[in-house]
Amino acid sequence: MQINIYKDHSTASFHAAEAIISTVENNPDSVLCLAAGDTPRLAYELMVKTALDQTISFARCTFIALDEWVGIEPNNEGSCSYFLNNLIFKPLSINTSQIYLFDSLSANLAEECKKMDETIIKKGGIDLMLAGVGMNGHIGFNEPGVSPHLYSHVINLDDTTRSVGQKYFKKSTALTQGITLGLKHVSNSKQLIMMATGSKKANVAKQALEEEVSIDMPAGIIQIHPQGIVMIDEEAAMFLKH
């Protein structure tokens, strides 16, 4: 694991955007799995701007969902689908045939998970996963205690995720379960970038990056990822020893 500490959120976002762009430049057929959430928002805006300014094409890329709130419609502004559509897919005119999102309204979520696992295999695996870290140490919706051996699965969200998740929604929303790629997908991704910015992530960053890897802190999996890069700002890194 490599840890890159940047001055602030903007600088970390700039480097995360550059990393996605360079992955796509090196391999226009890249399979990308990009988290939703506040942390990577600016990185995606910068990525889209660079792609449009420098005519870097994402037309051959595949986009794989990392996760979704179960039962939340894709046109709800708090959903991961809405976030990715508005920030990335629409501005880059990504064709729907390139996009694989979880249908979290499906009556058969197990089938959704199976389809996603099969898609990832068919596409040759994920080239780049860009993840955030939750206040409870989750990555995707891999909540504390989750098995590291799971592929896509449905999971009961813990109290922290249910309450922190309200920030994405205009009105109070019942969040009970998530559908997510599993830690197996996280560890199998060829490159893993984890972003953490702001002082509120300092405690969890310390635990994930410097404490023994354990199922209680799923984001800690980055410590043992052979191509894991942490992009963190000085505020989130303030409790790190190194």
Residue entry with tokens 């051996």: 149
**Piece of the chain touching ligand F6R by CB under 6 A; list 14-22, 90-98, 99-107, 136-144:** 136-144
* Among residues 23, 30, 39, 189, the one that binds ligand F6R under rule CB under 6 A: 39
Q: Which residues lie closer than 8 Å to 142 by C-beta, 6 or more apart?
A: 150, 155, 180, 182, 183, 186, 218
Site for ligand F6R in 65-84 (CB under 6 A): 66-67, 80
Cβ 130 to ligand F6R shortest distance, Å: 9
Is residue 136 part of the annotated active site? The answer reads yes
**Closer CB to ligand F6R, 80 or 155, in the complex:** 80
Binding residue for ligand F6R (CB under 6 A) from 6, 101, 138, 222? 138
CB of 67 to ligand F6R, least distance (A): 5
Site for ligand F6R contains 140 (CB under 6 A): yes
The one catalytic residue in 9, 85, 112, 136 is 136
Does the annotation mark 138 as catalytic?
A: yes
Catalytic residue numbers read 67, 136, 138, 143
Interacting residues toward ligand F6R by CB under 6 A: 35-39, 66-67, 80, 131-134, 138-140
